[in-house]
Structure 1
Amino acid sequence: MEAEHVTTPFGRRPMTLAMLIAQRRADHGKSVRSVDKWKIYRALCEAKPLLGVTDRALAVLNALLSFYPKNELSDGANLIVFPSNAQLSLRAHGMAEQTIRRHLAALIAAGLLARRDSPNGKRYARRNRAGDLNEAYGFSLAPLLSRTEEIEHLAAEVVAERLHVQSLREHISLHRRDITKLIETAIAEDIEGPWEAVHLGFRALIDDLPRSPNVAQLETLLEKLGRLRDEIVNRLETRAETTKLGANPYQNERHIQNSDSESQIESEAPSTENASPRGFAPRTTPRLLNIPLPSETRMPVSHTLNNSHSEIGTGIELKSFPLDLILRACPEIAAYGPGGQIKSWRDLLAASLIVKSMLEISSGAYGEACAAMGTENTATVIACILQRGSHINSAGAYLRDLTRRTKKGEFAIGPMLMSLLRANTAPAMRKIA
């Protein structure tokens, strides 16, 4: 490497500490015998995101390297190139000279080049009688040689991250295919469960992914998709085992399948974010990881639809109310129904499952409420909780309290509905008056 010395720029260009550091780093960097200039250039192209240079700047550097006569950058050689801006423009595919100057400044700021200005600011070289370079002024390639190891290390990091991102995308594609086909299988086999809500939540998570996600976002998405896929597989396997037991004449036909899943994917603990459930904007797609799966709705919908009362363990009956009355008392629940409206009890049940997830009511609390009140009445209570969201700190704890009171025969839905109905009709009556 040629003996460098600290040189200041010609003309009005100021001297900066970054230029001084770059020159000293080129002087005292780790000695490298030689390196192929095109090999180090390819490493630069890989490491450009970490070095803060653009592809246009690298195109200018490529043109500069083409003026160096040898393929090897080595110690002891004169590593200064001195083409004019006009020559650089020709080898940079006609790039404008102003653009070339801007990218040269960027390469110098990144510490990939060092400027060696002549007394008059021109780029030229003096040769001895043998034709060898005696003195040259222009751009020094010495920083490339001294930073070879660093550049190659950065390039390896970028390549490793790119391969990791590629692997993440491949696994995400596999999980998306698996989840889609597993949901189709559940629907085709007529397995009971809110599969439409599950699919909507799955699509919501995919659609929320940015156009250019980073590694952390891809890893988070893969983890969530993996948990959802495993949950669906567990439900399908449970159904398959139940069907197998029911088809075996040597098994007890009254075998009871536990409907409470051991895997909890929700939390009902109150937090500052959940202090006011009304703060959530209405949405037709739930968050994916809080989507109820079939284990949460083992009680057949037909049972609740065909019976106007649910039997409690203590012998107390909880009265059901007309759907029209519930919707007039709790109009906010309609925004969570299929297509943003509720036309039937099945739509109300689907909407209540979405709201349950949004309010972070756990599967255990929901299952206990269904066992005590019935699925239809539980959906009604959840609609009331949503309507009164600004007055409830923890929806899950509130539902557990209502379930406990129901088991003791101390709770009835009617007064809650009538109170909400009066609250909703009072403003309308005032407007008429």
Structure 2
Amino acid sequence: ADIEAEARALKLVRERITLCRRDIAKMIATGIEEAVPTRRGGQGPADWQEVHAAFRAMVAQIPRTATRQEIEPIADELSQLADEALDLLEAHIQSKNPSANEAHSERHIQNSNPDSLIDLEPSLREGRAARAEPKSQPSRVAENSYPLGTVLNACPDIVDYAKGGISDWRDFVATAAVVRSMLGISPTAWEEAQTVMGEMQAAVVVAYILQRGTTIRSAGGYLRGLTRKAEVGEFSLGPILMSQINSRLHKERRA
């Protein structure tokens, strides 16, 4: 009975971590797209990229196999970060609409609906939807690209940042455009990568950089390096996707 109780408790902590990860990712995306200030009275993070870096550092600490005692502190850290991010969004909403009632301040962190945070304010949802549209809709997958399912199998973390999930390449490219800002990739580096690699392949590279987390110190520099290789025909998506899939499979077997 004690073993079963501990297993249930461990499962609940892991579910708590999963919910926090999804909610934090969506709140960071909203904060960046709506240009929500993060520093109040000279205190707090400088920008949302800094919040995202802290978030990714916490996620990197999560082991594949661990006891409840080992992951509970990480769950607590993520919960605190989620509360702080939500406070920033709520303060922004209040500043835009002083008459907003308490319904806008209701805590959504433990809500199992991954889109719940988008309901903080209708104007935020509409603004995000308008700006999430890519400049040009991809008409087809490039001949040297891989199926979307394969890409998501290799780089699943990007799904956490999607407003309503990723069901096609259009969703994927739009989400990658948001993520690249979080990673600190400059607009010029992003545009250059899209020009050289193509819209979808550049988006896949961004998803890969996100998945690698803290192992890639300079996301912008890494993307520029791959863009240079792509210019001279020395870059292919296949090796990085396959290595990522093999790495995930290896970790799952060990777990």
TM-score normalised to structure 1 length: 0.32
Unpaired runs of 5+ residues, structure 1, are 1-196, 218-223, 225-265, 310-318
Indicate the SS of the match to 1:378.
helix
* Aligned match of 1:335: 160
Distance 2:30 2:210 in 1: 23
Distance 1:378 1:335 in 2: 19
Decide whether the 8 Å contact of 1:301 with 1:375 is kept in 2.
Answer: no
Closer, same or farther: CA 395–277 of 1 in aligned 2, 3 Å:
farther
* Aligned match of 2:234: 410
Distance 1:277 1:401 in 2: 25
Closer, same or farther: CA 334–199 of 1 in aligned 2, 3 Å:
closer
Deviations 1:353-397 (A, max 9, x none): 121011100001000100011111111010001111221110000
**1:365-404 to 2 correspondences below 5 Å:** 365-404=189-228
Displacement of 1:427 in angstroms is 2.7
**Structure ranking higher in helix proportion:** 2
* Aligned match of 2:142: 308
* Aligned match of 2:56: 278
Highest Rg: 1 or 2? Answer: 1
Deviations 1:72-99 (A, max 9, x none): xxxxxxxxxxxxxxxxxxxxxxxxxxxx
Distance 1:307 1:327 in 2: 15
Decide whether the 8 Å contact of 1:392 with 1:398 is kept in 2.
Answer: yes
Closer, same or farther: CA 379–202 of 1 in aligned 2, 3 Å:
closer
Out of 146, 157, 177, the position equivalent to 1:321 is 146
Out of 165, 174, 182, the position equivalent to 1:358 is 182
Decide whether the 8 Å contact of 2:158 with 2:176 is kept in 1.
Answer: yes
* Aligned match of 1:205: 36
RMSD of Structure 2 on Structure 1 (CA)? 4.2
Deviations 1:163-214 (A, max 9, x none): xxxxxxxxxxxxxxxxxxxxxxxxxxxxxxxxxx9876455727x68xxx76
Indicate the SS of the match to 1:388.
helix
Distance 2:228 2:253 in 1: 36
Decide whether the 8 Å contact of 1:352 with 1:383 is kept in 2.
Answer: yes
* Aligned match of 2:101: none
Distance 2:217 2:33 in 1: 28
Decide whether the 8 Å contact of 1:276 with 1:392 is kept in 2.
Answer: no
Greater relative CO (CA pairs within 8 A, separation 6+): 2
Unpaired runs of 5+ residues, structure 2, are 1-27, 60-77, 93-127
Closer, same or farther: CA 202–361 of 1 in aligned 2, 3 Å:
closer
**1:14-33 to 2 correspondences below 5 Å:** none
Decide whether the 8 Å contact of 1:277 with 1:389 is kept in 2.
Answer: no
* Aligned match of 1:25: none
Decide whether the 8 Å contact of 1:274 with 1:394 is kept in 2.
Answer: no
Closer, same or farther: CA 297–202 of 1 in aligned 2, 3 Å:
closer
Decide whether the 8 Å contact of 2:184 with 2:220 is kept in 1.
Answer: yes
Decide whether the 8 Å contact of 1:360 with 1:396 is kept in 2.
Answer: yes
Distance 2:254 2:178 in 1: 33
**1:240-255 to 2 correspondences below 5 Å:** none
Distance 1:363 1:371 in 2: 12
Displacement of 1:338 in angstroms is 1.1
Work out the percentage of aligned pairs sharing the same amino acid.
36
TM-score normalised to structure 2 length: 0.52
Out of 247, 250, 253, the position equivalent to 1:423 is 247
Indicate the SS of the match to 1:301.
coil
Distance 1:383 1:198 in 2: 15
**1:190-229 to 2 correspondences below 5 Å:** 201=32, 203=34, 205=36
Displacement of 1:277 in angstroms is 8.2
**1:62-81 to 2 correspondences below 5 Å:** none
Q: What is the letter of the counterpart of residue 410 of structure 1?
A: E
Distance 2:157 2:197 in 1: 22
Q: What is the letter of the counterpart of residue 151 of structure 2?
A: I
Closer, same or farther: CA 343–356 of 1 in aligned 2, 3 Å:
same
Displacement of 1:297 in angstroms is 5.5
Closer, same or farther: CA 354–393 of 1 in aligned 2, 3 Å:
same
Number of residue pairs the alignment of both structures matches: 161
